[in-house]
Amino acid sequence: MIGMSARAPYGATARPDASMSLLTNMMDHSLDEGYAEAAARRATGHAPPSRPGWVLAAGLVMIGLLLATAALQVRDRAPAAAQARDALTAEIEQRTATADRLEADLQELRASVAAARDDALGLTSTGSELAATLTGLEAVTGAGAVQGPALVVHLEDADDAGTEGRTDLRAGQSSTEGRVTDRDLQTIVNEVWAAGAEAVAINGQRLTSLSAIRSAGEAILVDFRPLSPPYDLIAVGDSQTMQSRLIDGFGGSYLQVLRNYGIDYTVKTRDSVRLPAAAGLPVRYATVPGQPGQSS
């Protein structure tokens, strides 16, 4: 066997390299037997049998047909995918326009109801006090429009949003987007409320205690309405006080962190801004005066 030395006869002197037979065999027979046989055939002029040229040509033709078929399938599927995407985009735009129109109609109807209510309650002093109370509650809950001085926080995505090689320490993981996220808006909104805001809206969407700011893919949703950058967060209240509290507090530090990622922001005040009422704010509980426990 290769690598095993033969036992020396009794009384014979063993070779000094007997224990190194495996290494000796590897050094003496470094070429594999198959390669050695092929080299010997070439030396005698007997070349190994070669395949006919038509076999190689047939193989190349088959590979070309497979590549051409794959390319045709990809090209045929691309228009179908583009058509489906365009149809979905058109449907989204159509339904968004319908929702905007219905929301405008809702605002007009609410204004008419509020005017009729104020006229009916204004006939007595008690009714006037009740109307003022209702107006204040509507402003706080988001059921009515508000107007007054405001603080405006403008957030805009980075110029290189979507490029490679950016690490987002806010999420603790690698990110390729220098974009404003739903968590960024949540943080700034909470800081604005803490600074003394009486009413807040993002890109015209009024926020209430039931509002949700979340993401769906790359889109940011506020009460299931998609928003597009840039983002204008408008807070009605004492604008000067809100500005100083926001900048000096955690909100200012957070905005500065966003700027480190290329996200630009501005904080300004306005003398008068009107925020619409929140759309789709349901009345969950109502009681009739004088009849406690009754609900409608």
CA distances from 148 to 113, 177, 228 (A): 22, 36, 25
pLDDT at 14: 57
- Let me know if residue 241 belongs to a domain: yes
Q: What's the CATH number where 159 sits? A: 3.30.70.1880
Same domain, 152 and 228: yes
Same domain, 263 and 179: yes
pLDDT at 48: 57
Q: Which residues lie below 8 Å from residue 153, measured CB to CB, with a gap of 6+? A: 188, 192, 232, 233, 235, 246, 255, 265, 266, 267
Same domain, 158 and 100: no
Same domain, 77 and 164: no
pLDDT at 86: 83
Same domain, 264 and 195: yes
pLDDT at 228: 87
Same domain, 59 and 181: no
- Let me know if residue 233 belongs to a domain: yes
Distance CA 62, CA 107 (A): 68
Q: Count of domains in the chain?
A: 2
Contact by Cβ (8 Å): 220, 181? yes
DSSP secondary structure, 56-75, as one string: HHHHHHHHHHHHHHHHHHHH
Same domain, 191 and 236: yes
- Let me know if residue 113 belongs to a domain: yes
Same domain, 108 and 160: no
Same domain, 103 and 170: no
- Let me know if residue 3 belongs to a domain: no
pLDDT at 17: 57
pLDDT at 20: 66
pLDDT at 234: 96
Distance CA 101, CA 96 (A): 9
- Let me know if residue 115 belongs to a domain: yes
Same domain, 76 and 115: yes
Residue with tokens 């390669």: 35
- Let me know if residue 11 belongs to a domain: no
Same domain, 117 and 152: no
pLDDT at 70: 82
- Let me know if residue 153 belongs to a domain: yes
The residue among 229, 226, 188 whose CA lies nearest residue 205 is 226
pLDDT at 140: 81
Quote the domain boundaries for residue 155.
144-275
- Let me know if residue 37 belongs to a domain: no
Number of alpha carbons in the 13 Å side-chain half-sphere of residue 127: 9
Same domain, 158 and 253: yes
pLDDT along the chain (296 residues), means of 10: 47 59 69 71 65 74 86 73 81 85 82 79 77 81 88 90 47 59 94 94 90 87 88 94 94 92 93 86 69 53
